[in-house]
Structure 1
Amino acid sequence: MIRKRLLAFGLPMAWGAMAITYKLACPLAQQNGLGARVVTSAVFFAVGTGLILHVRRALLRELREVKKVAGVAQSVLLRPLPPRVDGLNVAAAQLSADRGAVIGGDLYEVIATEHGVRVVMGDVRGHGLGAVGTVAAVLGSFREAVHDEVDLACVLRRLERALGRHLRERARAEHPSAGGEPESPVAEEFVTVLLLEIRQDGEVRVLNCGHPWPYLLSGARAEPLTRAEPLPPLGPFPLPAELPAVRCGRLLPGETLFLHTDGVEDARDGHGRFFPLPAALAEAVAAGPVSPQSVLRAVLAGLLRHTGGRPADDVALLLLRNDRRHVVRQPPGEPVGHRAHRLT
């Protein structure tokens, strides 16, 4: 590191010393003739060009290093998901609306626990690097709470408390002169959150705070997992005293859940038309054979075509297919597939 810095400063200093030496010691530089002036100008032009090119290379090298460090930090925050989690085939992708950012305001995680595979997908208001701190607070809380809490509702309450702490700390950092506890930590800040639990028998339970519902891909069908009314997003209002989970039946072997953020359905083309996600999913499953990876590629390709390669908002996609071999017999009267009701 020291050697690199010496080289970085040494070369410009050597070029500057050469130019000064030429000006002071070279007899040609002391003459006022046209030829002498042309030579002197050429010498200083060459030295100036060399300095500019050197500075440019140094800045590009620093930029590459910064991007490398940022990429490593962001990949730790939104780490790549394993291809399989407890018998589930997993595929995911995320696109940031900010150029140069690996991640933005969307978040997701899939973790196998003793309570089942637990999944979070969320969307922080806004996008880009300004939302990364909120993403870190929510993901950090989720990764710890899913192992500690038996009830999915308790996991959600942990996320709410973590978000509240983060917003209060951010408000104090942004307005240190206010002192004390800010009345409104960060105005209009909120996070949509979808918590999903897939148990060993395939039973699916969901808590949804203002997030788009997943789609169930079964055979050649692509339908919403449920149409139940979601809770409000985290942030503006406290969670209600009762948090009934939505029970969505069982995810059978070969069936796939498609989770997404609203940046997918809200994406527009040059004429202002929204991206037709249901049609894109129907086309992807009709092409067959269906795999999380093939559906992910098809939807992403369609989305990029629709937006001209530049989505205006952050986009996150997550697919989970049940590849478990055993099938648990379903008790009579229990809902199947996408039909759902709330647990009391």
Structure 2
Amino acid sequence: MLYTLAECLPFAIALLVVVIEFSPAHFLYTGPLLTATPALAAVAMGPKGTLAAAAFAMLVSIATATYNEAWGTLQVYTNVVALLLVSAASVTTSNAVYTHRQSELDQVRRIAIAAQRVLLRPIQARLGPVRVASRYVAAEKGAQIGGDLYEAVQTRYGVRMIVGDVRGKGLPAVRSAAAVLGAFRESVHYEEDLVEVINHCAAALRRERAMPRGMGQEDEEEQAESFVTVLVAQVPDSLVVELVNRGHPPPLVLNEGKVQALVPTSPLPPLGLEEFITSPPAKAESYPFAPGDRLLLYTDGVVEARDRDDEFFALSDAMEAAHDRTPPEFLEELHEGLIRHTEGRLTDDVAMMVVDRLDSDVLT
């Protein structure tokens, strides 16, 4: 809002000069006001905006001098020369500042992309008995990473996957996501029990929250109050999918064109809220997952996306409509449906991972 006002100010000043010069108050000296117009534009606008403001100021200066029959006076020529000099300096300065800012922004984006590749590594399209595809969409324009997380790893126990969502934003959320993902990537290879895998993730989050960072008070409070909703899934050789759900939206299975939600029988709180657990899960819950079935893991940015009428995105309907697509095409169609539903106004990050159980003849 403040940035928009700053952009309008130079043109508002030029219009004020027009009002003064074309009224009985034209005896007032408005030259300094017009001279300030390109200088103010250079503060809030790029080179093109500054050039437009300077051209508009020059047009106003010429028009008012002609209307008041002031050509030939030293004052008018002084105003024009001063306006030309300030305009040239303002455009040059604005261009230099814009180039410097763009260079810094490009560097930040390169760092963000590198960080994303470490945090959210590309998932192999084929892992054992499943075919996998993933997609991450940041709600904030230009953002590369956030608090959503996912991973899929082939282990001796089967294909293991995680999807999660950190409450909060900024660096504290990224650090929490990195801690959970790091614990998952390590523990999935030596912990046979999925419950123990998720316990390692919870312990890593506690350590991350307890570690002093020298952050500001607001960031420290944000990190202290953060929690992470997490779903860990495993696809073994048997025709099932095993799940441990810690406060995360239930995954959806697409079977013969129909969608079913895999709702946990005993809901558990997210990671970071272990004090609310009354009875820890003894083991993961199993659900049928036969060849030809499709499993969708996702974050709440998908199901909580709203349109102008405050209606939620109908994920199940969108899945059924795209049931015959390949995994990448399936996610692309869901993403396009989300964009249409929200008219491009996503309010939360979106992470999705689709898993297809392959037929036995494909495996051989």
* TM class by smaller structure: 0.7 to 0.9
Match status 1:173 vs 2:208: no
Letter of the 2:88 counterpart: A
Match status 1:294 vs 2:329: yes
Any idea what SS the aligned residue of 1:147 has?
coil
**Gap change, CA 1:36 and 1:242, over 3 Å in 2:** closer
Instruction: State the 1:153 CA deviation.
Output: 1.2
Given that 2:112 and 2:145 are in contact with CA atoms closer than 8 Å, whether structure 1 keeps it comes out as: no
Match status 1:217 vs 2:217: no
Match status 1:191 vs 2:228: yes
TM-score (norm 1): 0.75
**Gap change, CA 1:152 and 1:326, over 3 Å in 2:** farther
**1:201 corresponds to which of 202, 215, 238:** 238
Any idea what SS the aligned residue of 2:185 has?
helix
Letter of the 1:82 counterpart: Q
Q: 1: distance between equivalents of 2:83 and 2:317? A: 67
Aligned to 1:259: 297
Aligned to 2:16: none
Q: 2: distance between equivalents of 1:40 and 1:68? A: 42
Q: CA RMSD in A?
A: 2.8
Instruction: State the 1:37 CA deviation.
Output: 8.4
Instruction: State the 1:283 CA deviation.
Output: 2.0
Q: 2: distance between equivalents of 1:173 and 1:46? A: 45
Instruction: State the 1:41 CA deviation.
Output: 6.3
Aligned to 2:114: 72
Q: After the TM superposition, which residues 1-344 of structure 1 pair with which residues of structure 2 at under 5 Å, given as runs?
A: 42-43=84-85, 45-170=87-212, 173-174=214-215, 186-238=223-275, 242-285=280-323, 289-325=324-360
Instruction: State the 1:102 CA deviation.
Output: 1.4
Structure 1 residue runs without a partner (length 5+): 1-32, 177-181, 329-344
* Mean Cα deviation higher: 189-198 or 274-283: 274-283
Higher helix share: 2
Any idea what SS the aligned residue of 1:173 has?
coil
Structure 2 residue runs without a partner (length 5+): 1-73
Identity of counterpart residues, as a percentage? 38
Letter of the 1:173 counterpart: G
Given that 1:127 and 1:313 are in contact with CA atoms closer than 8 Å, whether structure 2 keeps it comes out as: no
Letter of the 1:293 counterpart: P
Aligned to 2:32: none
Letter of the 1:223 counterpart: Q
Letter of the 1:258 counterpart: L
User: Structure 1, residues 53-96: CA drift from partner, whole Å, max 9, x if none?
Assistant: 12211221221121122122122211121211123111111122
Instruction: State the 1:208 CA deviation.
Output: 0.6
Given that 2:244 and 2:285 are in contact with CA atoms closer than 8 Å, whether structure 1 keeps it comes out as: no
Any idea what SS the aligned residue of 2:352 has?
strand
Q: 2: distance between equivalents of 1:235 and 1:227? A: 19
Instruction: State the 1:52 CA deviation.
Output: 2.5
Q: 2: distance between equivalents of 1:124 and 1:168? A: 16
Instruction: State the 1:49 CA deviation.
Output: 2.6
Given that 1:195 and 1:207 are in contact with CA atoms closer than 8 Å, whether structure 2 keeps it comes out as: yes
* Mean Cα deviation higher: 137-146 or 198-207: 198-207
- The ranges of structure 1 where at least 4 consecutive aligned residues each deviate by more than 6 angstroms after the TM superposition are 33-37
Q: 2: distance between equivalents of 1:327 and 1:292? A: 16
Any idea what SS the aligned residue of 1:148 has?
coil
Instruction: State the 1:36 CA deviation.
Output: 8.3
Any idea what SS the aligned residue of 2:360 has?
coil
Instruction: State the 1:175 CA deviation.
Output: 7.0
Letter of the 2:331 counterpart: L
Given that 2:176 and 2:208 are in contact with CA atoms closer than 8 Å, whether structure 1 keeps it comes out as: yes
Q: 2: distance between equivalents of 1:51 and 1:162? A: 49
Given that 2:209 and 2:224 are in contact with CA atoms closer than 8 Å, whether structure 1 keeps it comes out as: no
Given that 2:126 and 2:132 are in contact with CA atoms closer than 8 Å, whether structure 1 keeps it comes out as: yes
Count of aligned pairs between the two proteins: 287
Given that 2:160 and 2:233 are in contact with CA atoms closer than 8 Å, whether structure 1 keeps it comes out as: yes
Any idea what SS the aligned residue of 1:304 has?
helix
**Gap change, CA 1:311 and 1:229, over 3 Å in 2:** farther
Given that 2:264 and 2:285 are in contact with CA atoms closer than 8 Å, whether structure 1 keeps it comes out as: no
Given that 2:173 and 2:223 are in contact with CA atoms closer than 8 Å, whether structure 1 keeps it comes out as: no
User: Structure 1, residues 171-201: CA drift from partner, whole Å, max 9, x if none?
Assistant: x63479xxxxx9x994432111101111123
Letter of the 2:214 counterpart: A
User: Structure 1, residues 198-235: CA drift from partner, whole Å, max 9, x if none?
Assistant: 11233321111011111111121111134523211111
